[in-house]
Amino acid sequence: MERARRVLPGGVNSPVRSFRAVGGTPPFFVRARGPFIVDVDGNRYLDLVLAYGPLILGHLHPAVVAAISSQLALGEAMGGPTELEVELGERIRQLVPSMEMVRLVNSGTEATMSAIRLARGATGRDLLVKFAGCYHGHSDALLAAAGSGVATLALPGSPGVPEASVADTMVLPYNDLDAVAEAFARVGERVAALIVEPVAGNMGVVPPRAGFLAGLRELTSRYGAILIFDEVMTGFRVARGGAQDLFAIRPDLTCLGKVIGGGLPVGAFGGRADLMRQLAPEGQVYQAGTLSGSPLAVAAGLAALGQLTPTEPYAQLERLGQRLELGLLEQARDHGLPLQVNRMGSMLTFFFTSAPVVDYASAAASDLNRFRQVHGALLKGGVFWPPSQFEAAFLCAAHTQAQIDQVVALFGEGLERSLG
């Protein structure tokens, strides 16, 4: 870590990996397989981070390894169109029918940044609505903090983000449909797009309240605003058709990432053909990327998607997720501690609080110190849990019931230690 810090800010290439939120030095990993990951000292951990979502099959699934290896024999970057990219676009359209056309990119950030530019270009409007606690990558317009009043325009969420970049961004409380209706009543005709995590994962997991997503669909349609579902985390994770399938909502645009790259860098955005056709070179809205549609990454993504059926591994992951959720709740009850477990299939977060966690404010009100202590106990016991209260933990098809029970037991020990 000292050597890393001399060349990489914070010693990492993405802040969450620094363990700043939980303290201590992060393990440096060298190899992984199935549900396990191993650090430089040879310590093996059960992995519930899974690269923050991509590895729904676990590490080094044979089909993904084979696909990357065979593509490598053909070439690593072509600088021109390939049939592989078309195949991935067609596969995404088949699994997510609202994505009539698709543009592949290299990250979730690029996907959401580009979808927002397309929505603004297509509508000729500027206003963007997002929700506090939702993370859509780090493009300027999205690094916005809620303004003073609920429906005032945003403040820069980071140094380096000019006020002008967020002057058209409005940040509302998640799950608060009244706040959205009020904002649209005032400025709806000026809203280019509303972007939402249909199941939030970046304040910890926070599922949508009943009617919330349908309400967003109705309001955006009524005012002619583009509804963008950021399914970078939920896509192919909460169901093969994503959250939009689970909740039967048809967004205008969808952003994807993580699972569709099978562990390699792939993002995508897509949706209504009348919108997507406005993208360069067919239309005027510019968007580009040197390695977009990289054959290696696309081969990995196709192989990963090829392992997903309408029911599996989702039924298995639901059983494991339920077992974990109930186990954690039982341990908390046995130790007399208030606990909320928010879960959607194989993505879940525990919060040490007695109040339901329904938005960023209620998530942030949980006992972050106890989270830190329990995280440390899990890591010490050989379980790699996401090192932040505001992340989702993930299960994969390589996890077993016995391993879930082990996590539950270690969680109980962590509670004891935190009560010590």
Nearer to ligand KE4, 332 or 357 (CB): 357
Site membership for ligand KE4, residue 349 (CB under 6 A)? no
Span from 76-84, 113-121, 129-137, 349-357 in contact with ligand KE4 (CB under 6 A): 129-137
Site membership for ligand KE4, residue 16 (CB under 6 A)? yes
Read off the tokens for 409. 């037991």
Applying the rule CB under 6 A, the residues between 106 and 125 that interact with ligand KE4 are 107-109, 112
Residue 194 CB contacts under 8 Å (≥ 6 apart), including other chains? 128, 129, 130, 180, 216, 219, 220, 225, 226, 227, 228
Give the binding-site size for ligand KE4 (rule: CB under 6 A).
19
Q: Is 258 in the active site?
A: yes
Nearer to ligand KE4, 383 or 392 (CB): 392
Place of tokens 């429906």: 151
| Annotated active-site residue in 45, 135, 174, 360 | 135
3-state secondary structure of 119: helix
Span from 120-128, 229-237, 271-279, 358-366 in contact with ligand KE4 (CB under 6 A): 229-237
Nearer to ligand KE4, 135 or 212 (CB): 135
Q: Is 135 in the active site?
A: yes
Output the smallest distance, CB 363 to ligand KE4, in A.
13
User: Do residues 262 and 304 touch, judged by C-beta distance below 8 A?
Assistant: yes
Q: Where are the alpha helices (DSSP H) in 174-265?
A: 177-187, 212-223, 243-246
Q: Is 274 in the active site?
A: no
Applying the rule CB under 6 A, the residues between 197 and 216 that interact with ligand KE4 are 197, 201-202
| Annotated active-site residue in 168, 230, 245, 359 | 230
| Annotated active-site residue in 52, 252, 258, 314 | 258
Span from 225-233, 354-362, 394-402, 408-416 in contact with ligand KE4 (CB under 6 A): 225-233
Q: How many CA atoms lie within 13 A of 54 on its CB side?
A: 23
Nearest-CA neighbor of 259 among 78, 108, 103? 108
Nearer to ligand KE4, 265 or 376 (CB): 265
**Residue 330 and residue 292: Cα distance in Å, rounded?**
46
**Residue 335 and residue 332: Cα distance in Å, rounded?**
5
Q: What is the DSSP string of 239-256?
A: BTT-HHHHTT---SEEEE
* Identity of the residue numbered 332: A
Q: Which stretches of the chain bind ligand KE4, using CB under 6 A?
A: 14, 16, 52, 107-109, 112, 135-137, 197, 201-202, 230, 232-233, 257, 267, 391
Active site members: 135, 230, 258
